[in-house]
A and B are shown apart, each in its own frame.
Chain A
Amino acid sequence: MTQYHLAAISFTLFALAAAGFLTAGSLVRMLMFLELMLNAANIALVALGTPASQAYAVMLFAIAAAEAGVGLALIITLATAFKTLEAGNIKELKG
């Protein structure tokens, strides 16, 4: 097994999550796939196998948590204003 195989696992997960992000209609679902994309990036970091890469992965965890918190707050605010969770139905910026 080489580093290429480990990178391939991470890239496959990233591509699958990206496909989900691009095809999802609902905002919550899009954020879920965004988290999975971040998770795949984290796997690539951990696969490097050095303690420094693991330290960076710990920092990415914190970023992911912050992103989920703000993202869901934004989505709930948008959903209340527009009465929908569909990204395609949110067309006005002046809310």
Chain B
Amino acid sequence: MILTAAIYFFGGSAALATLLMLFQRNPVKAALLMLAALLATAGLYLALSAQLLAVLQVILYAGAIMILFIVALTVTPAAWRDKPAPALIRRVLGLAAAAVILAELLKLSTALKAVPASRQFSETGTLELARLLFGPFVFQFELLSLVILASIVGAVALTSKRRNAL
């Protein structure tokens, strides 16, 4: 019962923060609302018995990725960010497209209504996850290291080119 309430509370908080972010013009305030959404997601993971993922969410998303966004906002001059609000037609079209996406996704997943969700609080240990990551999923896991290596090389190459140009 309390777990169900926690799931709805954290899910609702994340949705509310995202909704407020839509209408926030100040980019730094929008980043802080995104932080709130990500922290609410961490709470949601905890309620879903994914303890390691909740910790990783705080460290990786709310820590590392948010810092990246704040740094990107501070290194770009404020004059580049100032802009008029987008045209009304664009907003309406964007919201309508999102509503269609939501309606279609909900319609497609009606079969899930028959599947009960086991909401007993359990512990998913790191050992169990590690056995999976280094057992059946080892190929995907090793492939990920290549993805990260490529992203590091890409990011360094892009920013070093910029340094030379200046």
> Closest CB of chain B to A42's CB: distance in Å?
8
A59 to B7 CA separation, bound complex (whole angstroms): 23
Interchain CB contact under 8 A, B144 and A63: yes
The interface residues of chain B lying within 8 Å CB-to-CB of A66 are 147-148, 150-151
Residues of A in contact with B (beta carbons under 8 Å apart): 1-9, 11-26, 28-29, 31-33, 35-36, 39, 42-43, 46-47, 49, 51-52, 54-59, 61-70, 72-77, 79-80, 83-86
The interface residues of chain A lying within 8 Å CB-to-CB of B30 are 29, 32
A1 to B90 CA separation, bound complex (whole angstroms): 37
Interchain CB contact under 8 A, B151 and A83: no
Q: How many residues of B contact A (CB 8 A)?
A: 86
- The SS class assigned to the A binding surface is helix
Interchain CB contact under 8 A, A22 and B159: no
Choice from A12, A20, A26, A72 contacting B27 with Cβ under 8 Å = A26
In the complex where A1-B117, A43-B41 touch, is A76 in contact with B53 (Cβ < 8 A)?
no
> Could you write out 26 A-B pairs with CB less than 8 Å apart?
A1-B119, A3-B116, A16-B18, A21-B94, A23-B90, A24-B86, A28-B72, A28-B73, A32-B21, A35-B34, A39-B37, A42-B41, A43-B45, A46-B53, A51-B129, A52-B132, A52-B136, A58-B56, A58-B133, A59-B141, A64-B60, A68-B68, A73-B154, A73-B158, A74-B158, A80-B166
